[in-house]
Structure 1
Amino acid sequence: MDLRRQWLKLAYATLGVAFGLSAFLCWTLAFNQPATAAFGGLSGVLALWTLVTHLMYGQDLWRTWLQGLRCFRAVGVVFSLVAVAGAVTFISLAITQRQSFIDPRSYYLTSIWCFITLKWSLFLSFYSHRYCKEFDDIGILIDF
């Protein structure tokens, strides 16, 4: 495990949590746009799960709970599908309602947060799969 790369992953996931929380609060309190707030908050939660995945990997806690990694991978896949469906839906709504790109209440911003949610769900699935595969390989070697 390269320590520098692990710290970068932790810092990036921490920024994702902060941006997701701030988007949730901003679009809930200031703009009263619940759809954008929901996908911003979901993005922050998925970034938090990714952060937890990296922290548990760094502390070598996944070795005893590989089923949890498989569960995280499944959650990532499900929310990837939700994010894609949301992005398609909100882009089509924005186009049919002829909304402006720069309006903070526009569905275009909601679709951007759908894509950010997609990013974090794919990261969660990817790193869960990667860490699970690494620990499976180690488990096979220990059996011999």
Structure 2
Amino acid sequence: MTTQQDSQTFHKWQYDELDDKNFKIRGCTIFFIIVLFGVIILTTLILLYIRSMCQSSSSASATVAATLSQHVQVFARPKGLDLAVINSLPITLHQWSSTSAEGLECCICLGVFEDGEKVKVLPKCCHTYHSECVDKWLATHSSCPICRAAILVDSLV
């Protein structure tokens, strides 16, 4: 009897292996794997398309930016004065005056003017600065630090 029970168990086990329920689960699993694979391929294709569109638009925007920067450079204000213009400004020696309450310090370095110091008086607005301070300023700007009056080359003659 034990061999008969063993053979029935063996046949039962084989029959359970080929049961429809197990086959449906395997069929659903294969279906989900195919769907997942399709989603991965579709996502990859969409990302590649977006990447190619971004690269073409970035090259187009780079062209627009280059053209725009060329036009901006045409209309940009000058950064500073030439060294020759800065050196042509007259240098004077500061003398303390009891009648002059204005101009006791350089507004760039906030240092007090001492008697005999080299100062520059800007021609258009007559503001006074230490020579070294205003030279550094005028190398990067073309106007007075206080009133922003333009330093014109014609006014230096």
Shorter chain as denominator, the TM-score bin is under 0.3
TM-score (structure 1 length as normaliser): 0.28
TM-score (structure 2 length as normaliser): 0.26
- Kindly indicate which of the two structures has a greater share of residues assigned to strand: 2
Q: Which has the higher contact order (CA 8 A, sep 6+)?
A: 1
- Considering only CA atoms, is the larger Rg found in Structure 1 or Structure 2? 2
- Kindly indicate which of the two structures has a greater share of residues assigned to helix: 1
